[in-house]
């Protein structure tokens, strides 16, 4: 069972803290197999906004966790507490995966964990992060950045995107989607999407893409083109591209490819269909095409992905072989 530790101290943002707690505290209904063991670690009773929290453990517990999450830091003009910075550094040295939500990136940067890496934080504070930590490659235009053992997110909703990304990495796409359904949030937004869109998204029933997107999702097995989507939406391809960029932060083709890959992940996790069959159902055409796009997007071939998540989903929650640090 993976241990997730929330590293807290006075001045943490309660929204990001509560968000991570909701994702990792309990498995959604219908999800079998082991879930995370969530612990809250802090120097003592801490205040987050108007809430007073009593941590489960001290900060010295962080090196024993598999994943350490640092929620948003309220006052980025202040230097993060030395004991928190040192505990985060020690956890990383012990092999833990370090994750910052929103301005929690300032804590990771203070610990030197972002030096030489690409990272992000809330767009309003990216300049401050870059100026204070010049060794960090700050990207102000993405939702989250995954460097493997160190991950950072932008603010608020992007913190949820990163938490779901972690569940997807650990438990697979279908489980991450189940968590998203429970929390009534979008199941996936790619980390490379823009932090904010050029115009507010109207109510779904009135948005120009409201009817198009469900229509596309029902036809992923077909070789759809931008022209097909534009024709269905009754607008020019250029106009369609502008609406996609404003609403999703990406292009129609990239959005379509992402949906095909996510559908392929679900099928690989939940069925015994061959890679050729999955390629056909997801509109990839051939297994070769699916393997190329899947490997580039997910980081592993479809067969490896299936073996990994089918094994995890079938493992005994009490099997110590699948447990990590206590």
What residues act catalytically?
102
Q: How far is it, in rounded angstroms, from Cα 157 to Cα 196?
A: 10
- Decide: 136 and 130 in contact? Cβ < 8 Å: yes
Q: How far does the chain reach from its first CA to its final CA, in angstroms?
A: 9
Q: How far is it, in rounded angstroms, from Cα 221 to Cα 95?
A: 41
Strands 3-7 and 144-146: unpaired
Please tell me what DSSP assigns to residue 256: H
Those residues with Cβ within 8 angstroms of residue 292's Cβ, 6 or more apart along the chain or in another chain: none
Strands (E), the chain: 3-7, 37-41, 46-48, 51-53, 67-70, 97-100, 118-119, 137-138, 144-146, 150-153
């Amino acid at each position: 069972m993976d241990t997730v530790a929330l590293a807290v101290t006075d001045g943490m943002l309660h929204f990001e803290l509560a968000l991570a707690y909701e994702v990792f505290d309990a498995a959604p209904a219908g999800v079998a197999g082991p879930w995370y063991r969530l612990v809250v670690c802090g120097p003592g009773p801490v205040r987050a906004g108007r809430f007073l929290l009593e941590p489960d453990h001290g900060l010295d517990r962080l090196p024993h966790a598999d994943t350490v999450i640092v929620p948003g830091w309220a006052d980025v003009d202040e230097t993060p507490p030395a004991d928190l910075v040192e505990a985060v550094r020690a956890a990383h040295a012990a092999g833990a995966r370090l994750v910052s939500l929103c301005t929690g990136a300032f804590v990771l940067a203070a610990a030197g964990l972002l030096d030489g890496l690409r990272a992000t934080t809330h767009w309003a504070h990216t300049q401050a992060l870059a100026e204070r930590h010049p060794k960090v490659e700050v990207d102000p235009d993405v939702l989250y950045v995954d460097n493997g053992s160190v991950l950072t997110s932008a603010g608020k909703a992007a913190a949820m995107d990163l938490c779901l990304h972690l569940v997807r990495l650990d438990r697979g796409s279908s489980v991450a989607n189940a968590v998203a359904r429970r929390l009534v949030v979008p199941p996936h937004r790619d980390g490379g999407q823009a932090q904010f869109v050029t115009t507010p998204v109207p109510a779904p029933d009135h948005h120009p893409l409201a009817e198009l997107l469900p229509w596309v999702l029902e036809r992923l097995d077909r070789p759809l083109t931008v022209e097909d989507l534009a024709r269905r939406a009754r607008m020019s391809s250029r106009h369609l591209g502008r609406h996609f960029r404003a609403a999703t932060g990406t292009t129609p083709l990239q959005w379509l490819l992402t949906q095909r890959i996510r559908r392929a992940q679900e099928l690989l996790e939940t069925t015994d269909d061959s890679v050729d069959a999955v390629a056909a159902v997801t509109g990839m055409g051939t297994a070769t095409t699916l393997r190329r796009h899947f490997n580039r997007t997910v980081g592993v071939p479809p067969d490896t992905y299936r073996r990994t998540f089918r094994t995890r989903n079938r493992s005994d929650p009490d099997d110590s072989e699948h447990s990590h640090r206590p």
